[in-house]
Amino acid sequence: MKLTSTMICAPLTAQSVEQMVSDMRKAKAQGADLVEIRLDCIENFLPHKDLEIILRNKPLPVLIVFRPKRDGGLYESDEHTRFETLNLAKELGADYVDFELKLASVLPGEQKMNHHCGSKIIVSYHVNGENLPKEDLGNIVARIQATGPDIIRLVIDAADITEIARVFHLLSCSQVPLIAYCVGERGLISQILSPKFGGFIVYGSMDGNSLPGLPTLDSLRKAYKVDCINGDTIVFGLISKPVSHSKGPILHNPALRHVKFNGIYVPMFVDDLKKFFNVYSSQDFAGFSVGIPYKEAVVDFCDEVHPLAQFNELNMMHQSIGAVNTIIRRPSDGKLIGYNTDCEASITAIEDALIEEGCTNGEASFNSPLHGKLFVLAGAGGAGRALAFGAKSRGARIVVFDIDFDRAKCLACALKGEARPFEELVNFQPEKGAILANATPLGMHPNTDRIPVSEATLGDYQIVFDSVYTPRKTRLLKEAEAAGAITVSGVEMFLRQAIGQFNLFTGGQAPEEFMRQIVFDKF
């Protein structure tokens, strides 16, 4: 009978038995349900003595793995010794023992089915990048099942996030408890979403031991709360490349739970938009945030684009931003509808900061403190376009700097603004009271020491906005503040656009104060 509850497992690779015992206790304290003990990582390993110490001192269930070098482990001696060690682990009371398919296939029948000692037998297979396209995963599962395991494990080297869809299909169809996941940064959702599709175990790393594609134990328990995920959970995701910097999950997931919406928000490392949308086309994947570098390119994959951030200036026709940061799959027909919540989020953040400092326009006929001001924009990508169209809609004069001068000219032309090569920005002398908006990744963690302008010019700007929000106070904002400018962090834009996204995702009203408190506490 297939088990339905998903356990959280911490892989332990300590080089000594003493450290293994210590790490077991730490893993339990950090929220693990069980630990995977990699015997091949222990230096000068003494099977009987070391296993007795580990199993006698285990504070939670253990899964014993003794991986040979050919399968990505460290063990290089003879197979007979390895087999005897795994059998010894069963006899000494290990809760789970892992045998690779190659070893399990050559065992005598009586040893294959020897489950009398109480240990659960896992038979595993590692599908590497070379044989993934050639081998049918269903056939591999059938070969494993023929060995008579209690639990099946498949580990897959995935070169693309779309390959994980086959893992989800296997999990949902398997009649035997199944552990299946993809390794590497692109495989992250195979861990987080495993409970939705009936996975037996999800892996999480301990604090200070981060691994690509592996969520932390803390995030699994607190941000994602995987114990609350079930087959009806709706998936929302951030489409980006890279994606590890995003703080969206620690904002959206608690907010979804706060309003009792059965949804999960996950980072999605996407390489190919066309393949991604072709594969993840079900209603289970109901909405997406869009990050770097896809905010413009993703427009082509939307069936409709909502006419946000339009303007009518000097008899110009209404124009679209040409960038999308939110996509909703319409329930009635499955069509993808694109929205932009960046525009109002960024512009209102700048306006409110000016108003808070008493910097109104002075002319009653103009509602926005941006009217008539020079708006200096660094970056003409998706975030830059949202800022530029928003500023133009408020009556600002736009000058655009971008490393791609043609892109800068295209944006400036749409707004009747001015375009300049990016290298000129460092020496650009703005008029007094101008507004500077950074919509480039300059200053983002880990390259936090870079700024797009000369420090000497920062005193000429009335206000400086930075779309970067990791770190919260970038070097640009620190230097601008020291020069006497009003500063607006990208965190404020991030919060406001996230509130807009949340409303679109859920069809309800975002818990704004709750979300603001999360940002205040954790960003």
> Distance between CA 30 and CA 66 in Å, rounded?
24
- By three-state DSSP, how is residue 375 classified? strand
Determine the Cα angle at 22 with ends 20 and 27, to 5°.
90
Closest among 306, 303, 274, 273 to 290, alpha carbons compared: 273
Give how far the C-alpha of residue 186 lies from the chain's centroid of Cα atoms, to the nearest Å. 9
Report the b/e string of 474-509 with b at 16+ CB within 10 A. bbbbebbeebebbbbbbbbbbbbbbbbbbebbbeee
Number of Cβ atoms within 10 Å of the Cβ of 436: 27
295 catalytic residue (yes or no): yes
- How many helical (H) and strand (E) elements, i.e. helices and strands, does the chain have? 17, 20
Backbone conformation region of residue 472, classed left if phi is above 0, alpha if psi is from -120 to 50, else beta: alpha
Give the torsion sign (CA, 509, 511, 512, 516).
negative
Give the torsion sign (CA, 222, 225, 227, 228).
positive
Task: Tell me which of 295, 373, 392, 409 is the catalytic residue.
Answer: 295
Closest among 296, 291, 244, 299 to 497, alpha carbons compared: 291
Distances (CA, A) of 18 to 14, 54, 86: 9, 8, 20
Closest among 398, 487, 397, 379 to 439, alpha carbons compared: 379
Give the residue numbers marked as catalytic. Answer: 295
